[in-house]
């Protein structure tokens, strides 16, 4: 196994972190454009959300097929297929001026993004030692947040200055160059043996993961956490371009710099788990995120920014712990387990947008708080259930999985 601070460790972590940066830059490129697109296509906020939801929904349903394919063909090959497809699909978006064709192109992008996302963590689990993985997963998720920041600011600023098509072109060129670097840098796996013709076994593994409460409850936590996190930002974007703030889209997109709170917190999780349980960390992250939503209720721009910073810090803290929990607790088919976590995660992000934007349209930020509290309370309940299951030493019958304490 690859140990901390070795040249191979640096190659793996840098390549996968940068690949993650590219993936999330492309995924979130259109999020700050949503108010602009609503005006451009003369449609409502909830209709415009399909541009973002199409990619996240397509990503979510594609994760498991890609993960299962990687069990047969290898993680690295799937990673590179997804990365090279991204700039091609981006350029195809430029061929349409119709809203629903753009939505379909974004759905195709989601399928490509899923290839990398579904197997990158499994690659790390299989190639890195336990201490190296604990360090690397924080860097990987920090790159997620940095990619999200870069994609959103690029999309907002370039759309304001030049138009959405030019933003897509810039991102496509950058992605192609970055993909070539990842191809050169990422080592071939040494601790993985492809298993062709075993799709039925992989499907059984998927059912096993869903029937294992220690895994499925963490997946549901990720679902509700992301439903809140990413869509509170979408609502904040609509809030800031409307009166009384009336900010241009490019300037409003700078709120995504508040994601740096998540970049920091995802790196801190490796320190947290040395002395505390992952579940208590998920609860702490959720409390911080919830407080951020309430702080953002204050009708002053600095308070909104502080609130968004807290939302980012808490949500990424919870996400990093829940994501690594699933990858560590899965006893078989780890790529399928992490893919299933992300299925729940991105379905939450997709459906949460329609829910919170509906709350925004009908009740303003107070309506968003009411809807958000339902999801926060659900996370606290899921954490309590997960803690209760984790303390139980009883082996589940006929599943070959023993619950372990922390």
Q: Say which CATH number the domain at 342 has.
A: 1.20.1250.20
C-alpha distance across the termini of the chain, in Å: 24
Higher-pLDDT residue of 188, 202: 188
Mean pLDDT of the chain, nearest integer? 90
Ranking 5-14, 130-139, 220-229 by mean pLDDT, the lowest is 130-139
Q: Is residue 296 part of a domain?
A: yes
Domain that includes residue 165, residue range: 7-187+195-399
**Residue 406 in domain:** no
Q: How confident is the model at residue 337 (pLDDT cuts 50, 70, 90)?
A: confident
In a domain, 404, yes or no: no
Q: Is 3 exposed, middle or buried (0-12, 13-18, 19+ CB in 10 A)?
A: exposed
Measure Cα distances from 285 to 22, 171, 282, 313, 401 in Å. Answer: 26, 32, 5, 7, 28
Domain count, the chain: 1
Peptide bond into 13 cis (omega under 30): no
Domain-embedded: residue 345: yes
Tell me the β-bridge partners of 370. none
Q: Does a structural domain hold residue 176? A: yes
Give 1: exposed, middle or buried? Use CB within 10 Å, 0-12, 13-18, 19+.
middle
Question: Which of these, 54, 46, 247, 233, lies nearest to 145 by C-alpha position?
Answer: 233
Q: Does residue 151 fall inside a structural domain? A: yes
Predicted pLDDT at 195 = 67
Q: How high is the pLDDT of residue 393?
A: 59
Position 2 in a domain? no
Distance CA 331, CA 228 (A): 30
The string of pLDDT tens digits covering residues 309-325 is 999 999 999 999 999 99
Determine, yes or no, domain membership for 392.
Answer: yes
What tens digit of pLDDT does each residue of 142-193 get? Answer: 888 889 899 999 999 999 999 999 999 999 999 999 999 999 999 998 887 7
The answer to whether 236 touches 299, Cβ cutoff 8 Å, is no
pLDDT band at 118 (very low <50, low <70, confident <90, very high): confident
pTM to 2 decimals? Answer: 0.84
């Amino acid at each position: 196994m690859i140990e901390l601070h070795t040249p191979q460790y640096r190659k793996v972590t840098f390549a996968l972190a940068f690949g993650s940066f590219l993936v999330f830059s492309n995924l979130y490129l259109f999020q700050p454009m949503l108010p602009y697109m609503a005006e451009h296509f003369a449609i409502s906020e909830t209709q415009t959300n399909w541009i973002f939801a199409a990619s996240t929904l397509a990503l979510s349903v594609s994760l498991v097929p890609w993960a299962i394919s990687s069990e047969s063909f290898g993680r690295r090959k799937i990673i590179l297929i997804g990365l090279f497809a991204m700039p091609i699909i981006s350029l195809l978006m430029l061929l349409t001026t119709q809203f629903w064709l753009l939505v379909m192109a974004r759905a195709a992008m989601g399928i490509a993004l899923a290839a990398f996302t579904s197997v990158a963590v499994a690659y790390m689990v299989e190639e890195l030692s336990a201490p190296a993985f604990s360090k690397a997963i924080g860097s990987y998720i920090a790159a997620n947040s940095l990619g999200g920041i870069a994609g959103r600011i690029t999309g907002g600023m370039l759309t304001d200055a030049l138009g959405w098509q030019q933003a897509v072109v810039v991102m496509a060129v950058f992605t192609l160059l970055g993909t070539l670097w990842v191809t050169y840098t990422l080592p071939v796996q040494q601790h993985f043996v492809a298993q062709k013709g075993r799709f039925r076994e992989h499907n059984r593994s998927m059912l096993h993961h869903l029937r294992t409460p220690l895994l499925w409850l963490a997946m549901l936590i990720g679902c509700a956490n992301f439903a809140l996190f990413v869509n509170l930002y979408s609502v904040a974007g609509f809030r800031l371009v409307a009166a009384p703030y009336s900010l241009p889209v490019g300037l409003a997109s700078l709120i995504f710099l508040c994601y740096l709170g998540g970049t920091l917190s995802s790196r801190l999780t490796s320190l947290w788990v040395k002395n505390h349980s992952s579940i208590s960390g998920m609860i702490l992250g959720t409390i911080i995120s919830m407080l951020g939503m309430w702080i953002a209720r204050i009708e002053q721009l600095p308070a909104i920014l502080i609130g968004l910073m807290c939302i980012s810090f808490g949500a990424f803290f919870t996400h990093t712990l829940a994501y690594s929990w699933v990858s560590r607790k899965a006893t078989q088919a780890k790529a399928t387990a992490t893919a299933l976590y992300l299925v729940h995660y991105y379905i939450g992000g997709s459906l949460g947008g329609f829910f919170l934007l509906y709350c925004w349209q009908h009740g303003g930020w107070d309506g968003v708080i009411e809807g958000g509290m339902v999801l926060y309370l659900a996370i606290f309940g899921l954490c309590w259930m997960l803690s209760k299951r984790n303390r139980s030493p009883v082996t589940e019958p006929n599943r070959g999985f023993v619950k372990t304490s922390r």
